[in-house]
Structure 1
Amino acid sequence: MLRVGLLLVMAAFAAASANAQPAVGDRYSAVDTLVCQTERNSDAQECLDGLRWTPEAFDVVCQPPAREREGDLLIRFPSPRPLGDSTNDLVAMEWYMVRDSSGKPATAPAVVIVHESGRGMTVGRIFARGMYAQGIHAFLLQLPGYGVRRSEAVRDETRLLEGMKQGIADVRRARDAVAVLPGIDSTIIGVQGTSLGGFVVATAAGLDQGYQRTFIMLAGGNLEKVLFSGQRDAARVRERLHSAGIEDDAIRALTRPIEPLRLAHRLSANSTWMFCGRRDDVVPPECSRELAQAAGLDDQHFIVLEADHYSGVIYLPIMITRMKLLMTSPENSAVDPAR
């Protein structure tokens, strides 16, 4: 009887701890679950070898939000691919926390949001707040050089490849950081990225099957083609690279190690959804289609919006609602973009 009583007390304590109110200064222990299975495809194996890291234990720390309305807490953890800059190498995620009636974290799925290229991360925060409103814990991950990670040392165009590799690794480790926090249903953790964030997510999700749901918005594959033929945002990146003395051949060499198409076949066709714009002139639609085809996505998982790269914002409420339904329903659920 004593043993049974002890077990009941321990179970009750564990349940209470799982949803304990996190506070500034709280620290949680996490471990990388990255498992990059050996590839028969030598090109994919080469890509994996260039992106993977040795899994290890790491700490996850709660800090106060950097600004008002930028989440309930700022979650910090070390990047698995440090670049030697202390400001940039500590990853930051804004936690938009779903709470129960007592104010503690509610037990719910979670999604890591990876923002677009704009310094304000506006679209990323719209997704984060929208998913929070739908009852999903949302974590806006600030990519290298953004937000509180902003550092002149990593804004150098010649470090583009290093920064992208770091961002890809940060997104994958974020899954394991989120999983140890109170209130997180670790069986359903998704990842979503828009534009720049979509490219990062596409490659990060190809490392292994760490995330249970993957949402790629206004992005695709064939980075070389995007940079050389894309307009507006893509053209500005191209111009900055040229201004830094990085010529076309060097740009091709920079994009190859992070090319989503090299790992696209490793994406789960049942739990990956892509949304692209039919008139997108930043990310050519054929580049989105290339990634979808390489990943084996059917029409229910590859949705074409009647929009360009910017007017697609009108679909955000629809996409957020559909993401919530897909996060909380079987992974092979159909998507009706008209709903």
Structure 2
Amino acid sequence: MAVFVRLSPSYLFSRQELQRPAGAGSRPGAAAPIGRRPCRPGIRHCLIVSTAVILCLLTIVQSLCLLAPAAAAEAASGPAALESGQVIRVEQSHDRKAFDYRVVGIERKEAYSVVRLTYPSPIETKLPRNNTIPAEYYVPHGVSPDRPRPAVICLHILDGNLELVRICCSSLASRGVPAVLFLLPYYGQRGDGSGHRGLLSNMELLAEAIRQSAADVRRTVDVLQSRPEIDPQRIGVCGISLGALIAASAFAEEPRLHRAALILGGGDLAEIIAHANETRRLREAMAQLSTEDQARAKRAVAEADPLRNAAQARSRAEKGLVLMINAAQDEVIPPRCARKLAEAYGMTDRIRWLEGLGHYSALAALPGILREVNEFFAGDLPAGVAAAPAAENGPARLAAQLVREAIAMIVRPPAEGRCHFADLTVVVSRSKRELRIPVRWIHGDRGRFRFSADVPGLGRVELGQDDRPWLRANDRAVFVGERATPEPPSLLALIDAEAQTKIKSVAGAVDGALAVPAVLDSLAKFEREQRDDGSTIVRIMPLRKQVGPIDIRWPAGSRTPDRIDFEVEKTKGYVQIRVWQLDGPSRPELFAAPENLRREAVATEDLHRMFAAIIHFALEQAQ
């Protein structure tokens, strides 16, 4: 969800020259590569400087966005009747076997508490650590046995990253719906370290893990039904991708599950395995098996297929108790597999399709998906239960608003006749060396923009577009497009569809996380300090160790920060903000090429290819 720069921050201090961005313009539908014709020295110099500046700015963005969840810390207080170290007996279970669950930690958040639990899996495997389920129970503040609430079991994605499922749980809890997540079999502390890679090299193990996951869902239902604050008749399940496949299987097998939200899921597991690039190693391993072992593995897959018992869920689906959201261009779970599951449920006309999006680019729709899932499960809340109010001036909310504005500054076009304007200096220090880079970005309407920066040792870069693109070559000349256009293309319009989708996906994912301020509690810790001079400091302490504290300062009486201090790995720095304005006043002169330089006419298409190459290269350094 966040932007990750592949190159080390030390790259910013290297003097090596950059060659033409590999692959830039070579994708289907992309602009022709600029390397097909000789590149003027001035243009090549601007490419080098522009790329260095963009990589530097990506490092700053990384320091703000590289906030990932980690294990919850111990805190003193939590939901009523739950205390750290407590062991609770459950007498009634789906398999009629009593068991204990243990409270191993509680952390209180703004709108809810996170209770860490462990309890035994109903299936015992050869790997002892896989037989204990670690879970996180998100309990909204104010829950009471007098008015029991519905609950949702949320299941994580294939790679085992809990970031997305934690966002789902936090979002539900902020809406007033208790939620719980647990590590699936062979993931994290339940596995041998191979995680999903081990599962994807052994088809029988994968099928076994899916079956055990469904059984673990049933065990989690046992835990929730034992809780006095939970309505035992209103427990649901939600999954994304692999989590949706498991949720569908569990929903069919477990009649106590009342609702199911299946995001990017489907049926016909054999076809999904045969189709998805992610399962290529699984197919290769399968091909090495004997005929007998292949047959056994195929039987195991068939037994784990969501379609196997889907008919048992049909009556609930026909009552509107199943929500299916699928990507119309899904390259992992084929849309026909989603339709097969919907057909088995009797709801083929009720799939909510994400048009124009694939399995991974569906992140662009995350804010809408979260809202839809929240309201779907909130339909079972007691009357009068509302979403937790957000603190208007809370530290997490202030930081969230700044990140949202930064994304809007680049991605969202301003209103007619207005512009976004950022004027700042980036200072990066490493090993007693310092880079000071003044940067100005102006984003106008109708495709107009201007970008300038001064990089020590590399020089000045300046490029923009009014009715035609232009690029400053050196201190004496500026290249200007030969052909003017009344409606010049925006920067995003210059790049290929794949790159546009990547940008929109990152923006959507970040916006989804920021849509529910309480979600940020799972990404970082936030502190607010009021200084004697009236300024406000918000300190962000990401839970990922490679990012140090981020301090944002707002001067007294200002709604705009004037400084951001950050640390990434061994690189420290700060951003001094002079101007930060969205939809501010605009003038045509802001986007015009410099008047005091000699003008050289070049093909408009060449300059547009140059702009596209710079953006493509920057995106290829991010993942």
* CA distance in structure 2 between the aligned counterparts of 1:283 and 1:105, rounded to whole angstroms: 42
* CA distance in structure 2 between the aligned counterparts of 1:177 and 1:169, rounded to whole angstroms: 13
Structure 1 partner of 2:283: 238
Kept in 1, the 8 Å contact 2:84–2:106? The answer is no
**Structure 1 pair 242/197, CA: closer, same or farther in 2 (3 Å)?**
farther
Matched, 1:213 2:259: yes
Superposed counterparts of 1:16-27, under 5 Å: 20-27=80-87
Structure 1 partner of 2:117: 75
Structure 2 partner of 1:95: 137
Structure 2 partner of 1:29: 89
Structure 1 partner of 2:127: 85
* CA distance in structure 2 between the aligned counterparts of 1:33 and 1:85, rounded to whole angstroms: 23
Structure 1 partner of 2:302: 256
Q: How far is the alpha carbon of 1:130 from its aligned partner?
A: 1.5
Q: How far is the alpha carbon of 1:188 from its aligned partner?
A: 1.7
Higher share in strand:
2
Percent identity of paired positions between Structure 1 and Structure 2 = 27
* CA distance in structure 2 between the aligned counterparts of 1:121 and 1:244, rounded to whole angstroms: 33
Superposed counterparts of 1:128-167, under 5 Å: 128-152=169-193, 155=198, 157=202, 158-167=204-213
Which deviates more from structure 2 when the two are superposed, residues 249-258 or residues 171-180? Answer: 249-258
Q: How far is the alpha carbon of 1:150 from its aligned partner?
A: 2.7
Q: How far is the alpha carbon of 1:33 from its aligned partner?
A: 4.7
Superposed counterparts of 1:1-339, under 5 Å: 20-31=80-91, 33-34=93-94, 54-64=95-105, 72-100=114-142, 107-152=148-193, 155=198, 157=202, 158-231=204-277, 233-239=278-284, 249=295, 251-267=297-313, 268-269=316-317, 270=319, 271-300=321-350, 302-306=351-355, 307-329=357-379
Kept in 2, the 8 Å contact 1:32–1:173? The answer is no
* CA distance in structure 2 between the aligned counterparts of 1:128 and 1:305, rounded to whole angstroms: 22
**Structure 1 pair 141/121, CA: closer, same or farther in 2 (3 Å)?**
same
* CA distance in structure 2 between the aligned counterparts of 1:128 and 1:213, rounded to whole angstroms: 16
* TM-score, reference length from structure 2: 0.43
Q: How far is the alpha carbon of 1:238 from its aligned partner?
A: 3.2
Q: Root-mean-square deviation (CA), in Å?
A: 3.2
**Code of the aligned partner of 2:344:** A
Which deviates more from structure 2 when the two are superposed, residues 165-174 or residues 152-161? Answer: 152-161
**Structure 1 pair 240/118, CA: closer, same or farther in 2 (3 Å)?**
farther
Give every structure 1 segment of 4 or more consecutive aligned residues whose post-TM-superposition deviation is greater than 6 Å.
243-247
Which deviates more from structure 2 when the two are superposed, residues 303-312 or residues 241-250? Answer: 241-250
Kept in 1, the 8 Å contact 2:118–2:134? The answer is yes
Secondary structure of the structure 2 residue equivalent to 1:136: coil
**Structure 1 pair 21/127, CA: closer, same or farther in 2 (3 Å)?**
same
Structure 1: gaps spanning 5 or more residues: 1-18, 35-53, 332-339
* CA distance in structure 2 between the aligned counterparts of 1:290 and 1:140, rounded to whole angstroms: 27
Q: How far is the alpha carbon of 1:210 from its aligned partner?
A: 1.2
* CA distance in structure 2 between the aligned counterparts of 1:20 and 1:101, rounded to whole angstroms: 9
Structure 2 partner of 1:9: none
Structure 2: gaps spanning 5 or more residues: 1-78, 382-623
Q: How far is the alpha carbon of 1:299 from its aligned partner?
A: 2.9
* TM-score, reference length from structure 1: 0.76
Measured against aligned partners, the alpha-carbon deviations of 1:22-60 in whole angstroms (never above 9, x if no partner) come to: 1112222224553xxxxxxxxxxxxxxxxxxx4322212
Kept in 1, the 8 Å contact 2:233–2:256? The answer is no
Higher share in helix:
1
Measured against aligned partners, the alpha-carbon deviations of 1:141-196 in whole angstroms (never above 9, x if no partner) come to: 21011233233598462522322221110012211112223532333211101111
**If you compute each CA radius of gyration, which structure gives the higher value, 1 or 2?**
2
**Code of the aligned partner of 1:272:** V
* CA distance in structure 2 between the aligned counterparts of 1:251 and 1:313, rounded to whole angstroms: 33
Measured against aligned partners, the alpha-carbon deviations of 1:196-223 in whole angstroms (never above 9, x if no partner) come to: 1111111111113111111111111111
Q: How far is the alpha carbon of 1:94 from its aligned partner?
A: 1.0
**Structure 1 pair 91/244, CA: closer, same or farther in 2 (3 Å)?**
farther
**Code of the aligned partner of 2:97:** E
Kept in 1, the 8 Å contact 2:264–2:359? The answer is yes
Q: How far is the alpha carbon of 1:101 from its aligned partner?
A: 9.3
* CA distance in structure 2 between the aligned counterparts of 1:105 and 1:86, rounded to whole angstroms: 39
Structure 2 partner of 1:3: none
